[in-house]
Amino acid sequence: MPIAPELQAKIDALEDENLRHRILRVLNGPGKKRASDEAIYETIVSSYTMATEQQARLRKWTDDEVVAFAKYFKEKQPEDYVEFLRQEKEFNEIEGGFALGVRQLVKEWMPDLNRNDCSGMFSRFRDYAQSRAH
């Protein structure tokens, strides 16, 4: 069943090309739909908007902040710091329990961080560690 012209116009008006493709893929995909095309559109756009807003609220870590955390980590837990660098260099992965400990150290370093911002620093620190490994 073709997409209604009014809904197609709404889809075409979306700025994000990937979002348009995602909606069309779901609407034109195989399988039985359990909701109307309009409801599917609204759900996808709503989820996209929420994710975009959440991403915009995340702290934007500066290189200086990442270096400051690296210094803190190295001073507080020198053996773990070396182990982190080793795991990142050798495996491009950090063991789960160890990663949790490093995330807790981020929270100790900056206690008011929310979980997502803490994860952001962890990710940036992994990039930092990776750049030191080569």
Instruction: State how many domains the chain has.
Output: 2
* Per-chain mean pLDDT for the chain: 94
Q: Which residues of 61-77 are buried (b: 16+ CB within 10 A; e: fewer)?
A: beeebbeebbebbeeee
Return the closest-CA partner of residue 48 out of 13, 14, 4: 14
pLDDT of res. 132: 83
9 and 43 fall within a common domain = yes
pLDDT of res. 51: 92
Identity of the residue numbered 71: K
pLDDT of res. 47: 96
pLDDT of res. 55: 86
Domain final residue, candidates 15, 31, 57 = 57
76 and 128 fall within a common domain = yes
Per-residue pLDDT of 27-56, as tens digits, reads 999 888 889 999 999 999 999 999 999 888
pLDDT of res. 86: 94
Domain final residue, candidates 57, 80, 101 = 57
pLDDT of res. 133: 67
Residues of the chain with pLDDT under 50: none
Identity of the residue numbered 52: T
31 and 83 fall within a common domain = no
Domain final residue, candidates 57, 77, 100 = 57
Q: Which domain holds residue 37?
A: 5-57
CA 71-74-78 angle, 5° bins: 170
pLDDT of res. 90: 93
93 and 115 fall within a common domain = yes
Tokens of 18: 């990937």
| Separation of alpha carbons 2 and 4, rounded Å | 6
26 and 84 fall within a common domain = no
80 and 33 fall within a common domain = no
